[in-house]
Amino acid sequence: MSRYSAAEIEAKWQEAWDRAGIFRATHTDDKPKYYVLEMFPYPSGRIHMGHVRNYTMGDVIARYKMATGHNVLHPMGWDAFGMPAENAAMAIGGHPKTWTYDNIADMRGQMKPLGLSIDWSREFATCDPEYYGQQQALFLDFLEKGLVYRKNAVVNWDPVDMTVLANEQVIDGKGWRSGAEVERRELTQWFFKISDFSEELLEALDGLDNWPAKVRLMQENWIGKSRGIEIPFHRTDGGDPVVCYSTRPDTMRGASFIAISPEHPLSRELAENNADLAAFIAETRKMDTTEAAMEKAEKKGLDTGITVKHPVWPEVELPVWVGNFVLMDYGTGAVFGCPAHDQRDLDFARKYGLDVRNAFYMPGDETEVENDALVPVKSEKVTYIDHFADIGEVTSQEGIDATIDWFEAKDLGTGQVKYRLRDWGLSRQRYWGCPIPVVHCDDCGVVPEKKENLPVELPDDVTFDIPGNPLDRHPTWRDCSCPKCGKPAKRETDTMDTFVDSSWYFARFTAPRAETPTEMAEAKYWMNVDQYIGGIEHAILHLLYSRFFARAMHITGHLPSTAIEPFDALFTQGMVTHEIYQTRDGNGRPVYHLPEDVTDGKLVDGTEVEIIPSAKMSKSKKNVVDPVNIISAYGADTARWFVLSDSPPERDVEWTASGAEAAFKHLSRVWNLCDRIGAMDAGTKGEGDEDLLREMHKTIRDVTLGVESFGFNAAIARLYAFTNVLSKSKAGHAAQKQAIMTLAQLMSPMTPHLSEDIWAHQGGEGLIVNAPWPQADEAMLVDQSITLPIQINGKRRAEIAVPPDMDEAEVEKTALATDAVVKALDGAQPKKVIVVPGRIVNVVI
C-alpha cells in the first residue's frame, strides 16, 4: 500500500497542467465566457493564509466553471505601487523597484505550489511602465473629458507619510496606512470628478443583486444623499443674505441663531475689520489641525454682531455666529441653529445664552407657544403639526418634502439634493507611484503630456535618505519641454494614489499587452467580471472607485456601455484567524509566541502561555501560520481543503493545528480508499451497490448546489459524509470505482492534485480538470423507502417507513395506525391531520 505523498503528486500534476496549457484563456465563441477574479495582492513578499483562502475560493469557482463548460478567465497580477516599498528603501536601503520585483518573484514562487488555475500569461504588475503608461493615457483622456481637474483645496495631510490622503483614507482622523493624526493643509491637487456620478453610482447599486446587501448599503451611506433646502436669511444691515442649508426646514420655527463656518467668505470678510474674529478664526484653524481633535473639540463660537431676519417671521431677528463646528465643504457652510431639536445646537445655545424655542407642538397639546418662548426640549420623536406651513402633520421624508415645497412656493428657498461623496483627490507626494503626466510651463500653465511621450517613466536614480518626495529633488527628471510651446518646463512630481492603479486592472486583464489601455473587442468579450472575490475592507474605497472608473472609461471609449458596472457578482470572504499565545516579560509587557513554538499550551521550556481568543493573523501578534510551512508539511490540497471547511466563506475561519491535521487525514483516507478500490478484483460483486450509487447522486446534487451558492463548508461536510459511506461500503468493484471517481471529481475544485491522481489511478480518461462535471441522476435521488416522522400536536412521537410515492390518504392512514397515535387518540377522531409529502405528518388532537 502506498502513502499519500502530497509533495510528489502536486508537483507532478502542476507540471501536467502547465504542459497542456490548460489555464490559458483565449477568446472563443464556442463556449460561454466566465471571468473570475480575486482582488490582486500587494507584493509584500510573503503570501499569508488570507491569500490562500481568497485564491482558493476563486479557484474553486474557476475550476467548477471549467468543468461545467465555460471558457474561464482567471488572471493574477500585483498591486505593486505604494508606501511600503519606499519605507523599505528608507529602512534597509535599496530601491523600491528592486524590492517590489523581488517580492513579486518570491510571492509568485509561494503561490504557484497552491496549484491555482491561473492564466499566468496575463500577469502584470501595476508598477510595470507598460501598465502605468496606459494609466497615464487614461488620465489624459479623462482630463480631456473633464473627468479630472485641478483645484486648490484644504486636504488631509499625513505628516508621517508626508503625503495627501483622500477622505476615504482617513479613519478616525488618522491616516489609513501610517496611523498618524491627519493635519489639514491647503494645496493644489488633482481630483477625479466622482461627485458628478453620485446619483448614478447610488441608483445603480439597486441593480447589483449579486453583491452583498451590506456592501451596497455601505456605499449608499458613503454617497450619502440627502434632500434639503437652501434658504437665504436677509441681513438687517442690507448686506448679502446668508444662505443656510437644511434637511429639516420643518424645524425652522425653532431657529434661534445662524452659525457660519470660520472658512465662510463672510467670516473672512468680517475678520478684516474685526481683530477678535480674526483671532478666533486663526485659533480654530490652529485647533483644527487634526481631524481627531476636531471631533472632540468643544463647540466654540463668536458673535459677529450681524443679525438676519427669520424668513417666515421677518420681525424675528437672529444673531449670526461663527461656529467652529460648521463645515465649509458641506452644504453652504452656514446653518441655522434649532436648539430645541438638536443636541449640538442646544449645547451651543446654552453655552452662549441663546434662545431655545420649540418648533412644534404635540398633537393634543392645547397650549400654543409664543415664538420666543423658552420651552423644554422634547427628546421623544414627535408627530407634530407644523406651525407656519399649512401642510398638516410632518412625520417623515414626505412631510419634509412638503415643507420644502411650501418654502419654494413662497419663494423663500430652493430645494437641493446634496451628497456626502466628495471628489477623489488623487495627487500623492510620493515617488513610488504612477507619475501624473502633466507639465508646468511658465507661459502655458498646466499642460498635458503628449500621448506619444508616454509612459512618463519614473527615474531609477533616486535616494530615500531624506523624507519627502525624491522626484522633487531629482537633478534632471523634472526638466522637460512644454508639449505646447516647446519652451523649457517642469514635470509634475506628484504621483497618483495607488487606488487609481487598482481601479481598472480588471479591465486590463482582458488585453494585458495591448498598446492602448484596453482593446474594445476583448473588453466586450470578457467583461464583466462574473465573480469578484475579496475582503470586506474594500467595500467602499476600491469598489466605489472601480465603479467610477468603469464609467469614466466608458465615456472615454475604453470600455463598452455594458461594462459600467464592472463586477456582476461580488463575494466578500472572511479572514483567517488564529489564537494568540503570550507570556509576560519582567515588566509585565506581553511577549508573543508563534503557534509553532507552542505545544499543548506550553513553550519548549515548559512555560505556560496565556491563550488569547482568535484574532486576525498579524505579524505583530505572531499568531500567524505561514502557508509555505503548511504546504511543505501537508501539501497544498490540505491547506486548500482546510481553509474552505468548517466556516462559511463569508465568515472568519479559525486556523487550528488539529483542523489542518484533520484535513490531511481525510485526504489520506480518500487516497487509501482509492488504493483499496484499485486493489479489488475488477469483477468483484458486492452488496448495496444501489445504495452507494444513490448516495453518490445525492452527493453530486448537494455538492453542486454548495459550490454554486458559496456554501463550500457545507459542500465539504457532504463530501466527508459520502467518504464515510464509501469507506464502509461493501459494494462491488464497479460501483465503488464509480463512487471514488465521482468523489474525486466533486473534490477536484478544492483538491485538484489529489483528484487528478485518483482519476489517473482509476484509469480515468485524460485529465480530471478537463472532465465534465458529474450530473445527478434524478431517478437515483429518490429513495425506495423514506422515513416520515409522526408528530402529535407538533411533537415527534413516532416514525413510519413508506414508499416515496405513497399518496397522502394512504400516508395518513398508515400514520393513524401507529401505536403512538392510536394510544394518544384513545378512540377519538383527530381534529386535523397534516401530511407534508415526503417530510412529515402532524396529527392534531
Partner RNA sequence: GCGGGCGUGAUGGAAUGGUAGACAUAUCAGACUUAAAAUCUGAAGGCCGAAUGGCCGUGUGGGUUCGAGUCCCACCGCCCGCACCA
**Smallest distance, RNA to C-beta of residue 638, A:** 12
Q: Does 19 bind RNA (CB under 7 A)?
A: no
Rg of the chain on CA atoms, in Å: 34
Q: Does 217 bind RNA (CB under 7 A)?
A: yes
Q: Does 727 bind RNA (CB under 7 A)?
A: yes
Q: Does 762 bind RNA (CB under 7 A)?
A: no
Give yes or no for a contact between 780 and 693, defined as CB atoms under 8 angstroms apart.
yes
DSSP assignment of 437-453: -EEEETTTEEEEPPGGG
| Separation CA 526–CA 529 (nearest Å) | 7
| Piece in contact with RNA (CB under 7 A), picked from 27-35, 182-190, 499-507, 783-791 | 783-791
Q: Does 267 bind RNA (CB under 7 A)?
A: no
Residue with Cβ nearer RNA (258 or 559): 258
Give yes or no for a contact between 783 and 804, defined as CB atoms under 8 angstroms apart.
yes
Residues 825-844 that bind RNA (CB under 7 A): 832, 834, 836, 839-840, 842, 844
C-alpha cell at 762: 482509476
If we measure between CA atoms, which residue out of 92, 162, 176, 136 comes closest to residue 469? 162
Residues 49-108 that bind RNA (CB under 7 A): none
Is the peptide bond preceding residue 528 cis, with omega within 30 degrees of 0? yes
CA contacts within 13 A on the Cβ side of 782: 9
Q: Does 180 bind RNA (CB under 7 A)?
A: no
Residues 434-473 that bind RNA (CB under 7 A): none
C-alpha cell at 784: 425506495
Residue with Cβ nearer RNA (279 or 844): 844
CA torsion sign for 7, 13, 19, 23 is negative
Residue with Cβ nearer RNA (72 or 354): 354
Residue with Cβ nearer RNA (367 or 379): 379
Number of neighbouring beta carbons within 10 Å of residue 778: 9
Residues 356-385 that bind RNA (CB under 7 A): none
Residues 128-167 that bind RNA (CB under 7 A): 167
Residue with Cβ nearer RNA (558 or 718): 718
Residue with Cβ nearer RNA (294 or 680): 294
Residues 397-426 that bind RNA (CB under 7 A): 420
Q: Does 644 bind RNA (CB under 7 A)?
A: no
Alpha-carbon separation of residue 377 from 41, 347, 361, 371, 399 (angstroms): 53, 12, 11, 15, 21
Edge to edge, the sheet with strand 414-418 lists: 242-246, 226-233, 414-418
| Piece in contact with RNA (CB under 7 A), picked from 36-44, 216-224, 405-413, 746-754 | 216-224
| Piece in contact with RNA (CB under 7 A), picked from 58-66, 219-227, 437-445, 745-753 | 219-227
| Piece in contact with RNA (CB under 7 A), picked from 11-19, 435-443, 504-512, 655-663 | 655-663
Return left, alpha or beta for 585; rule: phi > 0 is left, psi -120 to 50 is alpha, else beta: beta
The site for RNA, by CB under 7 A, has a size of: 79
Q: Does 795 bind RNA (CB under 7 A)?
A: yes
Map residue 174 onto helix, strand or coil: strand
The single residue among 159, 560, 659, 678 that binds RNA, judged by CB under 7 A, is: 659
Q: Does 297 bind RNA (CB under 7 A)?
A: yes
Give yes or no for a contact between 744 and 659, defined as CB atoms under 8 angstroms apart.
no
**Smallest distance, RNA to C-beta of residue 844, A:** 5
Q: Does 330 bind RNA (CB under 7 A)?
A: yes
Q: Does 28 bind RNA (CB under 7 A)?
A: no
Residue with Cβ nearer RNA (122 or 698): 698
The single residue among 81, 222, 406, 773 that binds RNA, judged by CB under 7 A, is: 222
Q: Does 685 bind RNA (CB under 7 A)?
A: no
| Piece in contact with RNA (CB under 7 A), picked from 243-251, 453-461, 480-488, 630-638 | 243-251
Which residues make beta-bridge pairs with 183?
157, 290
Q: Does 594 bind RNA (CB under 7 A)?
A: no
10 Å CB burial of residue 22 (0-12, 13-18, 19+) is middle
The single residue among 366, 787, 819, 827 that binds RNA, judged by CB under 7 A, is: 787
| Piece in contact with RNA (CB under 7 A), picked from 130-138, 217-225, 467-475, 683-691 | 217-225
| Piece in contact with RNA (CB under 7 A), picked from 184-192, 209-217, 382-390, 499-507 | 209-217
Residue with Cβ nearer RNA (276 or 650): 650
| Separation CA 153–CA 333 (nearest Å) | 15
**In 635-728, where does DSSP find H-type helix?**
636-644, 657-679, 689-708, 712-728
CA torsion sign for 542, 548, 552, 553 is positive
Residue with Cβ nearer RNA (134 or 751): 751
If we measure between CA atoms, which residue out of 798, 795, 807 comes closest to residue 838? 807
Residue with Cβ nearer RNA (413 or 437): 413
Instruction: Work out the angle at residue 182's Cα, subtended by the Cα atoms of residues 178 and 183, and round it to the nearest 5 degrees.
Output: 140
The single residue among 22, 204, 662, 734 that binds RNA, judged by CB under 7 A, is: 662
Return left, alpha or beta for 793; rule: phi > 0 is left, psi -120 to 50 is alpha, else beta: left
Alpha carbon 230 to its chain's center: 35
C-alpha cell at 436: 501624473
Residues 478-537 that bind RNA (CB under 7 A): 536
| Separation CA 681–CA 661 (nearest Å) | 32
If we measure between CA atoms, which residue out of 416, 403, 267, 285 comes closest to residue 333? 267
The single residue among 78, 124, 325, 388 that binds RNA, judged by CB under 7 A, is: 325
CA dihedral 727, 729, 733, 734 (to 10 degrees): -100
Residue with Cβ nearer RNA (19 or 728): 728
| Separation CA 360–CA 365 (nearest Å) | 10
The single residue among 70, 112, 235, 669 that binds RNA, judged by CB under 7 A, is: 669
Residue with Cβ nearer RNA (619 or 651): 651
Alpha carbon 754 to its chain's center: 33
| Piece in contact with RNA (CB under 7 A), picked from 268-276, 457-465, 496-504, 789-797 | 789-797
Print the binding letters for residues 338-357 with RNA: x by CB under 7 A, - otherwise. ----x-x-------------
The single residue among 24, 31, 185, 214 that binds RNA, judged by CB under 7 A, is: 214
Residues 693-722 that bind RNA (CB under 7 A): 711, 713-714, 716-717, 720-721
